[in-house]
Amino acid sequence: MKKLLYIIIPALLVMTAGCNDDLNQYPNIEETSVTVYSSPGNYLMALAKGYASFVTAGQGKGGADADLSSNNGYDYMRCYFNMQEAGTEEIGSTWIEGDNIGNLTFLTWDVNDPWVADMYYRCYYSISLCNEFLKHCTDEEIAGFTQAEQASIKTYAAEARFLRALAYFHALDLFRNIPFADENTIGSSSLPERWEAPEIFSFIETELKECSEDMSDAASCVYGHAPRAAAWMLLARLYLNAATYSAGDHWDDCMTYSQMVIDEGYELESDYARLFNADNHNRAGIGNEIIFPLVVSSTNVMSWGATTYLVCGEVDTDNGPSPSTVGVASAWSMFRVRGEIPELFDMDNDDRAMFYTDGQTQYMDNGVTDRTNGYFVTKWSNLNDDGEVSSNTTSDGVDTDFPLFRLADAYLMYAEAAARSGSNLGTALTLVNSLRSHRNAASVTESDLTATTDGIPFKFFLDERARELYWECVRRTDLIRFGCFTGSSYLWQWKGGVREGVAVDDRYNIYPIPATEISANPNLYNTDY
């Protein structure tokens, strides 16, 4: 059943951001945590808030009754999408001024950037929810419940540890050296200590290995909950980027956990477009491709961010395809794709090339705000499998879930790690060509996987991940792993704010901890800002 977890999202855990206090505080609620956690039935509702914190901005519809007092007030995934995509060649954002996104677009942000601040506090708000939940999952706390209730709560605790690890991973990837707090620090008068990236890496690694042992397998996991394969996927992604986090190479570990995901019983979807429509919950779970989605619902989890942002943002009121072709009543005229991404495709022989080109130039010669420049993306949709509009996007947002982890990514992570380590290349090639076959793309050779192209080693994977995963919040991380996000090894239009693209200072590989947080906690500092 779709969205079972999120049918009830209680007003149990509402907080207000207060610099570092979002790491060490009790929920600001009418009921106390003592009364909330006195009933085993409330644990599932409190866990639901942890899940929902990734796609909603508040307790009410569309973010009303806001969780945080912040600069923009947008939800976690809207912030994360912009942090991961806005400065790359995968997005050209029309709302440069209206959305205050120029510094992200041109890689010129500083410690006062509102999107950077919002993302930072969103990460730690989700972490704080999980910390509070886990504080009440100890053996002592749940001793008075039945054995069956205790068993359920232990599974919920494992999921909460996964969600916390996910938020910490995003914070690590975006900010590197960050403050740390867990359930044991709640109520402490001490300010959170700064942990170096390798320490955060080790914490996440240990958490994911341990929590996966108590999470559900693919066959028994209720839709909307995270299965153990979600923890394995996050481990594989952590290992794939380990060198970025000063944790050394972990190619073998990446292959190990990618293979565990592959062996779990998921299967690739042959109709690529159906992974991103309003019925994509039917493509999740065992026998399907989606491993873990963030649930969005016009009825139960209505958000102006997350996938509403993508579906409404990809169509235009004046140019491009009719908004009705993707099930949108309200077109936001926000996004196109920069010309370098369509260039990677055989446009006539790859199902993933979901671009609208009529009347549009491929490249953005006149600037990212010119809405006739750049192709439109039609990948995200609010239509169901029958081609019917799923919801009124003007008032209720979309019904499209965000597939945070897909089997296709496990294939690509395994193959890239194999190519970089020089081992299991036969398996890597089989996985890549199986994926490409499902997308109606031509097969490649082993030499393609290991080639240095345009001076970039293993560039096939940088390109293939763009073809498979564009607009799925991985591009910045991928570009950094390949040494291409900053510097001059790979240029795209308007990189650094110049039409032809220019080298960008390496400090922009890491976002700064917001100035407000630095002022509040003397344990924190930014090295290059």
Q: Tokens for 185?
A: 């620090």
Total domains in the chain come to: 1
Which residue in 379, 369, 308 sits closest to 342, CA to CA? 379
Domain encompassing residue 70 = 13-215+486-529
What gap in Å lies between CA 494 and CA 92, rounded to an integer? Answer: 9
Per-residue pLDDT, 33:
66
User: Residue 297 carries which DSSP code?
Assistant: B
200 located within any domain: yes
Q: Over the stretch 404-437, which tens digit does the pLDDT of each residue have?
A: 999 999 999 999 999 999 999 999 999 999 999 9
17 located within any domain: yes
Per-residue pLDDT band at 59 (split at 50, 70, 90): confident
What gap in Å lies between CA 67 and CA 62, rounded to an integer? Answer: 12
User: Residue 39 carries which DSSP code?
Assistant: S
46 located within any domain: yes
DSSP string, 28-77: --SS-HHHHTTSTHHHHHHHHHHHHTTT-SBSSGGG-SBS---SS---HH
Per-residue pLDDT band at 32 (split at 50, 70, 90): low
What gap in Å lies between CA 471 and CA 476, rounded to an integer? Answer: 11
341 located within any domain: no
What gap in Å lies between CA 2 and CA 290, rounded to an integer? Answer: 13
Per-residue pLDDT, 170:
98
Per-residue pLDDT, 337:
98
Contacts of 387 (CB under 8 A, 6+ apart): none
pLDDT at 232 over 60: yes
Q: Over the stretch 167-226, which tens digit does the pLDDT of each residue have?
A: 999 999 999 999 999 999 998 889 999 999 999 999 999 999 999 999 999 999 999 999
Looking up tokens 């036969």, which residue turns up?
Answer: 426
Per-residue pLDDT, 23:
43
Buried b (16+ CB within 10 A) or exposed e, 75-90: bbbbbbbbbbbbbbbb
What gap in Å lies between CA 271 and CA 286, rounded to an integer? Answer: 17
512 located within any domain: yes
**Alpha-carbon Rg for the chain in angstroms:** 22
Tell me the CATH number at 73. Answer: 1.25.40.390
71 vs 43, higher pLDDT = 43
Per-residue pLDDT band at 65 (split at 50, 70, 90): confident
Whether the CB-CB separation of 454 and 339 falls below 8 Å is answered with no
Alpha-carbon torsion angle 77, 78, 81, 83, nearest 10: -110
From residue 293, how far is each of 31, 82, 404, 509, 526 by CA, in Å?
31, 19, 5, 27, 33
80 located within any domain: yes
27 located within any domain: yes
What gap in Å lies between CA 411 and CA 435, rounded to an integer? Answer: 8
266 located within any domain: no
Per-residue pLDDT band at 63 (split at 50, 70, 90): confident
